[in-house]
Amino acid sequence: MTTLAEAPSANKPDYKARARSDRTTIYLLLLPALLPIVVLSVIPLMRGIYLGFTDARAGRNVDTNFTGVENYRELMNDDLFWSAFRIGLVWAFAVTILQFVLAFGLALLLSQPLKFRGFARVMALVPWAMPPVIVGIMWRLVYHPDAGLLNEVLYRGGAEGLQHNWLGDFSTALPAVIMVGVWSGMPQTTIVLLAGLSGVPRELHEAAAVDGATAWQRFRSVTVPSLMPVIVAITSLDFIWNFNSFGLVYVLTAGGPGGRTMLPMLFAYEEAFRYGNYGYAAALGNVMVVIIVALLAVYLRRRLREANA
């Protein structure tokens, strides 16, 4: 059943007894961690998936019935769902792509022998060190129509006409929250890319330089290909995290104005905990999992094909 990686005293006669007692010990050691994970993570998730096929509602004495695909039929006809879904896709793609481009640039800079590099590396971590709720509060201060930094900078720069109620305007709310999303997720992406960059073999660069390749050519034909696995991994993870993100936008706009920043998770939260439609909210969660898996499958397959081509 269990395979032991090591046999500490393989040539001793009591090896078998020792191995058996080892196995018991292993299970005793693992049990306290596995039990809570099963009870409070595996089982709830299974139940959550199942709830998506029921009419479960809030309240202690409400019957829950299996309704099959009824929730999904309802979702298809729900304009609010489609709107949240569209906004969620725009948000997730925009944040992931911008995050990647900006983080890649920063990682490349940080891998250069520049002065102040140590300081810059610490600064690059700042957004990560801040709780999402605080990031939201902080950016509200930046975007504040009267006391905010952004409008004041525009005024001083003579671009008064560009002043906005950034989070309150229909047209600027989504771009404004996307900017915050990019800001708050940059450190993770930067650090992973930086770690990847340090693994690119120096000799490859030098060989290419000797052959007369320009910096841009080296970047395209040496750096990017050897980073590809890292790039695929971090952009996939970023996309999942962004698509499922909640706290930041909840604090920034709570989905407003007029639902312009209503991400799928905010929509699901409202359905579940404002209106008590547990089954419906869980169904939405299921749809999101399916979409994420489908998008990732397409993405990973294309990358795989490119890698083999």
Site for other proteins in 196-215 (CB under 8 A): 198, 205-206, 209, 215
Site for other proteins in 40-99 (CB under 8 A): 40-45, 47-49, 51-52, 56, 60
Using CB under 8 A, pick the residue from 80, 134, 159, 307 that binds other proteins. 134
Using CB under 8 A, pick the residue from 15, 17, 20, 25 that binds other proteins. 25
Instruction: Please choose, out of 70-78, 163-171, 262-270, 300-308, the segment that lies near other proteins by the rule CB under 8 A.
Output: 262-270
Using CB under 8 A, pick the residue from 32, 158, 161, 258 that binds other proteins. 32
- 31/306 with CB nearer other proteins: 31
Using CB under 8 A, pick the residue from 14, 79, 146, 211 that binds other proteins. 146
Tell me: does residue 224 bind other proteins (CB under 8 A): no
- 156/308 with CB nearer other proteins: 156
- 94/240 with CB nearer other proteins: 240
CA 41, CA 190: separation in Å to the nearest integer?
Answer: 30
- 51/174 with CB nearer other proteins: 51
- 174/188 with CB nearer other proteins: 188
Place of tokens 């300081």: 119
| 33, 42, 178, 240, 294 from 291: Cα distances, Å | 31, 21, 21, 10, 5
Using CB under 8 A, pick the residue from 68, 105, 175, 201 that binds other proteins. 105
- 27/170 with CB nearer other proteins: 27
Tell me: does residue 235 bind other proteins (CB under 8 A): no
- Please work out the total of residues on this chain that contact other proteins, with binding judged by CB under 8 A: 113
- 221/306 with CB nearer other proteins: 221
Tell me: does residue 281 bind other proteins (CB under 8 A): yes
Using CB under 8 A, pick the residue from 92, 136, 249, 255 that binds other proteins. 136
Instruction: Please choose, out of 68-76, 123-131, 168-176, 300-308, the segment that lies near other proteins by the rule CB under 8 A.
Output: 123-131
What Rg do the C-alpha atoms of the chain give, in angstroms? Answer: 25
Distance of closest approach, residue 71 Cβ to other proteins, in angstroms: 13
- 293/304 with CB nearer other proteins: 293
Other residues' Cβ atoms within 10 Å of the Cβ of residue 184: 22
With helix as H, strand as E and coil as C, how does the chain read? CCCCCCCCCCCCCCHHHHHHHHHHHHHHHHHHHHHHHHHHHHHHHHHHHHHCCECCCCCCCCCCCECCCHHHHHHHCCHHHHHHHHHHHHHHHHHHHHHHHHHHHHHHHHCCCCCCHHHHHHHCCHHHHCCHHHHHHHHHHHHCCCCCHHHHHHHHCCCHHHCCCCCCCCCCHHHHHHHHHHHHHHHHHHHHHHHHHCCCCHHHHHHHHHCCCCHHHHHHHHHHHHHHHHHHHHHHHHHHHHHCCCHHHHHHCCCCCCCCCCCHHHHHHHHHHHCCCHHHHHHHHHHHHHHHHHHHHHHHHHHHHHHHC
Degrees, nearest 5: CA angle 31-34-38: 135
Using CB under 8 A, pick the residue from 152, 226, 257, 303 that binds other proteins. 152
Site for other proteins in 170-199 (CB under 8 A): 183-188, 191-192, 194-195, 198
